[in-house]
Amino acid sequence: MFKVLWIILLIYLFFRLLTRTLFPFLARNYVKKAQEKFYQQNPNINPEEAKRQEGEVKVKSRPQKTTAKKDELGDYVDFEEVDE
């Protein structure tokens, strides 16, 4: 009876040790591979931007559009409804 209890206790301690050491390693590798796959599928996302520190602000400005002058737009035509 004591031999069975010792075996159960040893198996429990072995799995407890295994999960504390092996599981975090496997989970870390899984997350790393998933992250690499995500960035391969989305090349327009820069992983360096995601690593910015909290509170850091980066402003991206758009290039200024050249607006056409109103004189160059053409003539105004007033349309009227046509009854059929």
Helical residues (DSSP H) of the chain, grouped into ranges:
2-41, 47-50
Whole-model pTM over 0.75: no
For 30-53, the pLDDT digits (tens) are 999 998 898 888 878 776 766 667
Q: Using 50, 70 and 90 to split pLDDT, how confident is the model at 16?
A: very high
**Total residue count of the chain as it appears in this document:** 84
Query: Which amino acid, 53?
Result: Q
Beta carbons of 8 and 16 less than 8 angstroms apart: no
Beta carbons of 11 and 19 less than 8 angstroms apart: no
Beta carbons of 50 and 56 less than 8 angstroms apart: no
